[in-house]
Amino acid sequence: MTDRIEKTIELRAPVERVWRALTNAAEFGQWFRVKLEGPFVPGEITRGRITYPGYEHLTWEATTVKMETQRLFSFTWHPYAIDPAVDYAQEPPTLVEFRLEPTATGTKLTLSESGFDALPDHRRDEALRMNDGGWAEQMVNIQAHVEA
Amino acid sequence: MSRLSAPAPGPAPVFAALGDPTRLSLLVKLSDGGRRSIAKLSADTRLTRQAVTKHLHVLEGAGLVSSAKVGRESQFAYRPEPLAQARSYLDAISAQWDDALCRLQAFVED
């Protein structure tokens, strides 16, 4: 069982417009806030520099998995790769998928990120903070997450 | 969106430990906060005590349960912290996606 984040959003723009915003490296970089050095090509790594204020020292890197025109764009990357001193390439990545479907008013976009259960032990070695109360509720929530 | 301000570190061992129906059901039993022995946790299941013990050790390895010797038997109790941590990690990633999708929406609807 793999843990997974999934989000759906209705966009008032045609599928071909959304597809371009997702898969054209320059357009992707504008809304995602990263300056990419090259295009997205299945099987290849795309690198860039994050342009989000305060995080410009970080490199962005993803490996394109699938580009099924106007239907599916997916890549793998390393979640929370925010420590420049860590070589995240040694860790198993998560999979990010964008699925597009045309609707009467535009595009339904479904985003998912999965594979969090494959991250290695040493990523959680920070001291745990106590969380008093509400844990039974949290448990139900996490159960819903992992069973989704 | 980028990976900004880190919450707690990765939840992988917690999710991996939870990724099993038997272990989830053991945790649900323990989630009332009470301590229970292996005998008690095996009682109303079809599992052998050895199987229950094995699953409890996986949960213990992920920090989800703690054990203490009471007399000759081990008693197990639920530890809420790793779940809270795993949840806040997912919540943070989820919030960053919300943020990114909002920017995408503004970008394509302009």
| ipTM of the complex in this document | 0.71
Q: Is A97 on the interface with B (CB under 8 A)?
A: no
Residue-level pLDDT, tens digit, chain A, 148 residues: 346 788 899 999 999 999 999 999 999 999 998 999 999 999 999 999 988 887 788 888 999 999 999 999 999 988 666 666 666 666 678 899 999 999 999 999 999 988 877 644 444 332 222 222 333 344 444 444 444 4
* Neighbouring C-beta atoms of residue B55, cutoff 10 Å: 21
Distance CA(A42)–CA(B86), nearest Å, equals 31
Strands (E), B1-110: 36-37, 65-70, 73-78
Res B91 pLDDT > 50: yes
Residue A86: what pLDDT?
67
Q: Which residues of A97-126 are buried (b: 16+ CB within 10 A; e: fewer)?
A: bbbbeeeeebbbbebbbebbbbbeeebbee
Torsion of CA B12, B90, A65, A91, to 10 degrees: -30
Task: Tell me the nearest-neighbour CA distance from A111 into chain B, angstroms.
Answer: 8
Q: Answer for the pair B14, B86: CB distance below 8 angstroms, yes or no.
A: yes
The DSSP 8-state label assigned to residue B41 in this structure reads H
Interface of B with A in 69-88 (CB under 8 A): 78, 80-87
- B89 or A109, greater pLDDT: A109
Best of B102, B108, B109, B110 to disrupt the A interface by mutation (most A CBs within 10 Å)? B108
Q: Answer for the pair A8, A110: CB distance below 8 angstroms, yes or no.
A: yes
Residue of A137, A17, A8, A118 lying closest to B98 (CA atoms): A8
Task: Tell me the nearest-neighbour CA distance from B71 into chain A, angstroms.
Answer: 29
Give every strand in the sheet of B36-37, ordered side by side. Answer: B36-37, B73-78, B65-70
Distance CA(A116)–CA(A92), nearest Å, equals 9
Task: Tell me the nearest-neighbour CA distance from A106 into chain B, angstroms.
Answer: 10
> Across the strands, what pairs with A49?
A35, A59
Residue B9: what pLDDT?
44
Q: Answer for the pair B95, B75: CB distance below 8 angstroms, yes or no.
A: no
Interface of A with B in 44-83 (CB under 8 A): 50, 52, 55, 58, 60, 79-82
Q: Answer for the pair A113, A79: CB distance below 8 angstroms, yes or no.
A: yes
Does the pTM exceed 0.80?
no
Residue A84: what pLDDT?
67
Distance CA(B41)–CA(B51), nearest Å, equals 11
B104 to chain A: which residues are within 8 Å by CB?
9, 11, 18, 21-22, 31-32, 109
> Across the strands, what pairs with A4?
A114
Interface contact flag, A128 B85, Cβ < 8 Å? yes
Q: For B106, name the nearest residue in chain A, comparing CA atoms only.
A: A31
Give the model confidence (pLDDT) of B3-57 as tens digits.
444 333 457 778 888 878 888 889 888 988 899 999 999 988 888 999 999 999 9
CA atoms within 13 A on the CB side of B68: 7
